[in-house]
Amino acid sequence: MRLTNSLLKRIILEEASKMKNSRSVEDVHAEELDADEFGSDKGLEKKIDYMKALKIEESRLRKRIEKIAETRRRIARSL
């Protein structure tokens, strides 16, 4: 099926009519928080710190793997 001008216009009009029938933004009730209240979640900070620690550990392990691979190549050449 090809996307023609008339088909595109029809799709846009259908979506616009759906949006008119849907609830407006004013109907949605959301809890408002101050910035200091939002940042009080210590779980997020712990997760970020844990990810940083994992990244450091990963880089250390990658260096060790590279040394092991180099040693392996050296031994294989000497055989």
pTM over 0.75: no
**Alpha carbon distance 39, 34 (integer Å):** 9
The residues spanned by each domain of the chain are: 41-79
CA 77 from centroid of its chain's CA atoms? 44
Q: What is the arithmetic mean of pLDDT over 51-70? A: 95
Beta strand ranges found along 1-79 (DSSP E): none
**What Rg, from alpha-carbon coordinates, does the chain have?**
29
CA distance 46 to 43: 5
Among the ranges given (17-21, 36-40, 46-50, 53-57), the one the predictor scored with the smallest mean pLDDT:
36-40
The 10s digit of each residue's pLDDT in 4-42 is 998 889 998 888 888 777 666 566 677 776 666 665 566
